[in-house]
A and B are shown apart, each in its own frame.
Chain A
Amino acid sequence: SQTIHQWPATLVQPVGSPLSLECTVEGTSNPNLYWYRQAAGRGLQLLFYSVGIGQISSEVPQNLSASRPQDRQFILSSKKLLLSDSGFYLCAWRGTGLSVPTGGANVLTFGAGSRLTVL
């Protein structure tokens, strides 16, 4: 079965500090990977997506970056956090080819999320 792990679950960071959020997927290969951000009481904003190792597409210009060093690893980073970076960050994956979750390739499966507070 496929699982997605995301960490840390919660973090409080000062303005100007760096950030690294990590996401890994198990039980699948060549997944599409995504980073979303959700501000309090708001919808999900797509930040980055990746269709393969080293392939990153950015949706919103900002001080965040993403990397995919391995097939099933997706990292969200920042060199200097801003107050506006606070939010709930969600990693998600979509199966491709034969490696799809229950429900098929139309399903986006989310990790448990990382709640970031920038002070």
Chain B
Amino acid sequence: GQSLEQPSEVTAVEGAIVQINCTYQTSGFYGLSWYQQHDGGAPTFLSYNGLDGLEETGRFSSFLSRSDSYGYLLLQELQMKDSASYFCAVRARGPDSGYALNFGKGTSLLVTP
């Protein structure tokens, strides 16, 4: 079967750095993505890792190790507006399946003053 594991909740202080881990089990793998969702809103794309290594986009970085079936999202210089849910998502299927994503249950990040 397929599964994604990520912590359910994380709390951090404004200005700090936080890392959200994601481990996955899947029969096929075409990449790992991260999405942010604020309360009541729709998920929005943050980053994608198709190959091993680190991808950096501003204050956010994402890492992938395919051999370990593991990835993480790193958020630096935390701001209050970063309080949201963060989802890792595995692209476990190929083009015939529209590269459909399987999402984890999400990590609720609370940034405190």
> What is the interface of chain A, defined by CB distance below 8 A to chain B?
32-34, 36, 42-46, 49-51, 57, 59, 90, 94, 103-113
Contact = CB atoms under 8 A, between A and B. Distances in A.
Given A51-B98, A94-B99, A103 B42 contact: no
Contacts of B106: 42-43
B103 A44 contact: yes
Given A106-B33, A109-B45, A110-B44, A32 B99 contact: yes
A106 B97 contact: no
Interface in B33-63: 33, 35, 41-45, 48, 50
Interface of B: 31, 33, 35, 41-45, 48, 50, 87, 89, 91, 95-106
B7 to A, nearest CB: 13
Given A106-B33, A108-B33, A46 B44 contact: no
Contacts of A103: 45, 48
Main secondary structure of the interface of B (DSSP, over half): mixed
A46 B2 CA distance: 13
Contacts of B105: 42-43
A72 B45 CA distance: 21
Given A49-B97, A107-B48, A43 B87 contact: yes
Contacts of B45: 103, 107-109
Contacts of A106: 31, 33, 48, 50, 91
A7 to B, nearest CB: 13
Contacts of B91: 106
B10 to A, nearest CB: 15
Nearest to B50: A106
B48 A49 contact: no
Most buried by A among B35, B43, B87, B100: B100
A17 to B, nearest CB: 24
